[in-house]
Amino acid sequence: MRVGLGLSAPAARLLADGLRGSGAPLRRIAGWSVLEAAPALASGWVTAAALDDGFLAGRPGVGLAWTALLAGLFFARAAAERALFTPLADVVENLRDTLVRRVVRGVLERATASGRGGGSAAVAQLNGQVDTVRNLTGTLLRTARPLGVSLLAAVIGLATLDPLLAALVLAPLVPALTVFLWSMRRLTARRRLLVLAEEKVAGHAGAALGASRDITALAAEPHAASIVEQEVAGAAKAQLAVGLAAALRVPVVLLGGQLPLLLLLLAGPGLVEDGSVSAGAVVGAATYVAAHLLPALQMLAGAVSGYWSQLGVVLHRLAEAATVAGSPARQAAADQSPGSSRTCRPSQAVPTPRWRGAAPDLSVRELDFAYGPRAEPVLRRLSLEVPFGDHLAVVGPSGIGKSTLAALLAGIISPTAGTVSLDGHRVTDLGEALRCRLFALVPQEAYVFPGTVAANLAYLAPDAGPDRLERSAAAIGLTGVLDRLGGLDARLRSPATELSSGERQLFALARVHACAAPVVVLDEATCHLDPVAEARAEAAFAERPGTLIVIAHRLVSATRARRVLLLDGDRTALGTHAGLLVRSPHYAELVGHWAGTAAAVLDGRERSSVVPSSYE
């Protein structure tokens, strides 16, 4: 929704908030502005009097005296302008402080809520935008304010000088100002669209450049180029629309400034001749128009409207960033919560179909998966049986498709061909509520939300009592953290700062350990834990009834699993750790490489707990 002069409602609210604490300096500005407007208000009157009572009446002394009075008013105006700097600075700095507070709070609360961090980069970027608002507001207060004040003073002066001449000037000026205000709304809206279009160009061009290797490999250059070209065409259209909206300032200046002057010059001599007005009044009216109305209109319709519409765009951006409670952004942050992303919460409200399999086996048949119709398949014809209670480790080189397989197994993404089924049911057909009850996928990024420790641990097991939660916490190795925090009832206010990445992973692991899902998939869910803590967490899951699939962060996970799946294209192999060491040279090579690296990195004390003796 747009409110006055093209500012969106959130932008106008943010500006009002930023100015709220500046009542005193704003009043001082208003006071000094009256004095600042004195020359504009008096210029026509003084000119008329100097002519009618002085120079045209043969009394040049009187004419000079009036002129000297006008000069005095200009000195007063200079003093007012000097005095205005302090309150102007107060207003602008206060606005900046308020905006910085609002924006930093909004961004950091959102980053904390999402548990993803990254708030500092956003804050730095938004602080730059706050500075832009400060500079634009300062510029507008220094330029637009005196122009607006002069325009108003000139109109008042003109109306009180002579009603007939005032009517001549105001007849075209009023529609010109109306068009000007209307065009400001359009211009601000179009400038906003232009900024968005330019950002899209930058985003798509950046993505295309970043992916240039893949684009070349897939011979997709024409496709990538057409996407960027489309955005460039959109930006060009938006630029044209801004240009057209800005072009309206020409008729505004012609109608509101030039036409009144022309009318005065055309009608003036006749009006003087028939005695309707004095010659001094005509020149006085022309002074109001030429010295104040016309320059004010030119500036307002030109640079000032540009500053104003830029201010509207940046303020709207900041208003979006500063909004936290109940905002769409807050919602988006909440969408990263355990209940909605890769791990989901079994809903009490959603009726779930009956599930008979108490000990369901997982079966993968001829599985193909590619991220796009023209992309290289990540997985090709993979078949695998995972009986209930199995403990399978998935290992392989980086980027080979381990996380993709984890998502396919949990039914989060659908295969391109082939099936993944649990107890004979395709996992993608299970329906979300049931799927969430059967699978718990723990991703690398652990989410802990503000709230009590108990609420976090019981997220996937709403019926679990304190004993159950404490047992899971103890099994995973979270008891020390719980003691430090103050137990299950302790409240986490800012988990992103109160807990380390490893501690957040322990929370996510304990949360899943406490739930009843028969299939647990850990996708590098222990990557921030030290080797000892990782071994303990994996042991806890191995003892928990159900199937455990571990996408291994360290190869040592494979030594703890009952079976190992080596994912490696054509060299994919399945077996026990010992069996694969013998029959898969590639697996042996991978293990040997890892053991060598681990031995080089770890000191003797840690090595004994991490590197299996068989590798030493």
Minimum CB separation of residue 437 from ligand ATP in Å reads 25
Closest CA to 500 of 536, 454, 446: 446
Between 399 and 424, name the residue whose CB sits nearer to ligand ATP: 399
Minimum CB separation of residue 228 from ligand ATP in Å reads 19
Size of interface with ligand ATP, in residues (CB under 6 A): 10
Span interacting with ligand ATP, options 111-119, 172-180, 345-353, 398-406, rule CB under 6 A? 398-406
Residues 58, 328, 351, 399: which binds ligand ATP (CB under 6 A)? 399
Minimum CB separation of residue 416 from ligand ATP in Å reads 13
Q: How many CA atoms lie within 13 A of 13 on its CB side?
A: 13
Give every CB contact of residue 145 below 8 A, 6+ residues apart in sequence.
29, 33
**3-class secondary structure, 492:** strand
Minimum CB separation of residue 221 from ligand ATP in Å reads 18
Name the CA dihedral angle for 415, 421, 427, 433, rounded to a multiple of 10 degrees: -170
Between 296 and 392, name the residue whose CB sits nearer to ligand ATP: 392
Residues 168, 220, 300, 378: which binds ligand ATP (CB under 6 A)? 378
- 417-422 and 362-369 beta bridge pairing: antiparallel
Alpha helices (H) along 439-569: 453-457, 466-476, 479-485, 495-498, 501-514, 531-543, 556-560
Give every CB contact of residue 9 below 8 A, 6+ residues apart in sequence.
1, 2, 3
| x/- track of binding to ligand ATP for residues 127-146 (CB under 6 A) | --------------------
Between 316 and 402, name the residue whose CB sits nearer to ligand ATP: 402
Question: Does residue 371 interact with ligand ATP by CB under 6 A?
Answer: yes
CA distances (Å), origin 306, targets 4, 5, 132, 183, 267:
16, 12, 14, 11, 35
Span interacting with ligand ATP, options 27-35, 147-155, 331-339, 396-404, rule CB under 6 A? 396-404
Span interacting with ligand ATP, options 58-66, 176-184, 265-273, 392-400, rule CB under 6 A? 392-400
Q: How many CA atoms lie within 13 A of 557 on its CB side?
A: 31
Environment class of 489 (CB within 10 Å of its CB; exposed 0-12, middle 13-18, buried 19+): exposed
| x/- track of binding to ligand ATP for residues 329-368 (CB under 6 A) | ----------------------------------------
Minimum CB separation of residue 376 from ligand ATP in Å reads 8
Minimum CB separation of residue 15 from ligand ATP in Å reads 40
Span interacting with ligand ATP, options 37-45, 129-137, 391-399, 434-442, rule CB under 6 A? 391-399
Q: Residues 47, 165: contact at Cβ < 8 Å?
A: no
**3-class secondary structure, 523:** strand
Minimum CB separation of residue 379 from ligand ATP in Å reads 9
Binders of ligand ATP in range 401-420 (CB under 6 A): 401-404
Minimum CB separation of residue 398 from ligand ATP in Å reads 4
Distance separating alpha carbons of residues 395 and 584, to the nearest angstrom: 13
**3-class secondary structure, 228:** helix
Span interacting with ligand ATP, options 150-158, 164-172, 395-403, 476-484, rule CB under 6 A? 395-403
Minimum CB separation of residue 396 from ligand ATP in Å reads 6
Binders of ligand ATP in range 418-437 (CB under 6 A): none
Question: Does residue 398 interact with ligand ATP by CB under 6 A?
Answer: yes
Tokens of 196: 């968005």
Tokens of 363: 């079966």
Q: Which residues are near ligand ATP by CB under 6 A?
A: 371, 378, 396, 398-404
